[in-house]
């Protein structure tokens, strides 16, 4: 097996643009790292698909990233993490794999407030898997977890509708019951959801409730893992390469708006 090289890229993947929330945090915390991003824009959303289908997609993307000799894989998709994290790790072998669910759970429990009453919003697949509740309860038996599926948010995010009237009305409907609960924190259990963070805070109207963004936590975990393995890169001009399975122009528009920088190295590939 070939050695893992420090100047190899970090591979990050998601069903669409949501994983760019992870990219943004990795760029902020690890500014010298080369990054390869795969957004499966032809098959988004994953959250309404079967577990077997999600596993199939995850294996195809993992193989694609491994062919590009990545040194680490970040699963920037809660649906994939819930359905296929173990399979991705097995396929990746010695390449470290991190998923957003464990990262988000640790972020919720390691805060100074030690949150115990938590709400999680995510896709139908993530909520049905009960992955957050299981992970949180493993880490802390005192934790109470309420989960809510918010399936319409991913399509809205992919359209760029994150801060308009439609987004606000949709979130008011989804968060109505959560707003009336006495929770300590709300975990954004989908990497698309941080795109709605300002609207969520406005609708929830509870400044005392912490909003947990697992993108920050997984970037922190990635930095620690690379430091421990001696794999940090020091390239002053790192590459950011994007692959999508469809709609590159739309992806570019949303990616540039979200990352605040020009994104022109985008290639369309088909994995089916």
Catalytic residues: 77, 190
Max CA distance (Å), the chain: 54
**C-alpha span between 113 and 211 (Å, rounded):** 13
Question: For residue 205, how many other CB atoms are within 10 A of its CB?
Answer: 9
For residue 194, the 8-state DSSP code is G
Which ranges of the chain would DSSP assign to H, the alpha helix? 20-29, 51-67, 78-92, 100-109, 124-129, 131-139, 153-158, 165-179, 197-204, 214-229, 248-259
Taking the C-alpha atoms of 140, 148, 129 and 134 in order, what is their torsion angle to the nearest 10 degrees?
Answer: 0
Q: Tell me which residue of 122, 52, 106, 130 sits closest to 84, measured CA to CA.
A: 52
Angle, helix 20-29 to helix 248-259, in steps of 10 degrees: 40
Q: How many Å apart are CA 154 and CA 151, to the nearest integer? A: 7
Neighbours of 170 (CB within 10 A): 18
Residue 90 CB coordination number (10 Å): 12
Question: Do 13 and 77 meet the contact criterion of CB atoms below 8 Å apart?
Answer: yes
Q: How far apart are CA 51 and CA 32, in angstroms?
A: 35
């Amino acid at each position: 097996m070939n050695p893992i090289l420090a100047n190899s890229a970090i591979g990050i993947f998601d069903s669409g643009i949501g994983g760019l929330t992870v990219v943004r945090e990795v760029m902020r915390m690890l500014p010298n790292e080369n990054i390869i991003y795969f957004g499966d824009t032809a098959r988004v959303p994953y959250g309404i698909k079967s577990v077997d289908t999600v596993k199939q997609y995850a294996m195809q993307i993992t193989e694609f990233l491994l062919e590009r000799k990545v040194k680490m894989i970040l699963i920037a998709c809660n649906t994939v993490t819930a359905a296929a994290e173990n399979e991705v790790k097995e396929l990746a072998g010695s390449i470290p794999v991190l998923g957003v669910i464990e990262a988000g759970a640790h972020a919720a429990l390691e805060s100074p407030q030690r949150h115990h009453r938590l709400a999680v919003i995510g896709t139908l697949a993530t909520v049905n898997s009960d992955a957050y509740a299981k992970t949180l309860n493993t880490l802390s038996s005192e934790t109470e977890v309420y989960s809510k599926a918010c399936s319409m948010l991913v399509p809205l995010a992919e359209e760029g509708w994150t801060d308009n009237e439609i987004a606000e009305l949709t979130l008011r409907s989804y968060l109505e019951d959560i707003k009336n609960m006495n929770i300590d924190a709300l975990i954004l259990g989908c990497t698309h959801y941080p795109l709605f963070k300002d609207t969520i805070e406005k609708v929830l109207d509870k400044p005392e409730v912490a909003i947990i963004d697992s993108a920050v936590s997984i970037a922190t975990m990635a930095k620690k893992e690379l430091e421990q393995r001696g794999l940090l890169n020091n390239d002053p001009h790192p590459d950011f390469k994007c692959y999508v399975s469809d709609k590159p122009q739309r992806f570019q528009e949303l990616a540039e708006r979200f990352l605040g920088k020009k994104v022109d190295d985008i290639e369309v590939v088909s994995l089916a």
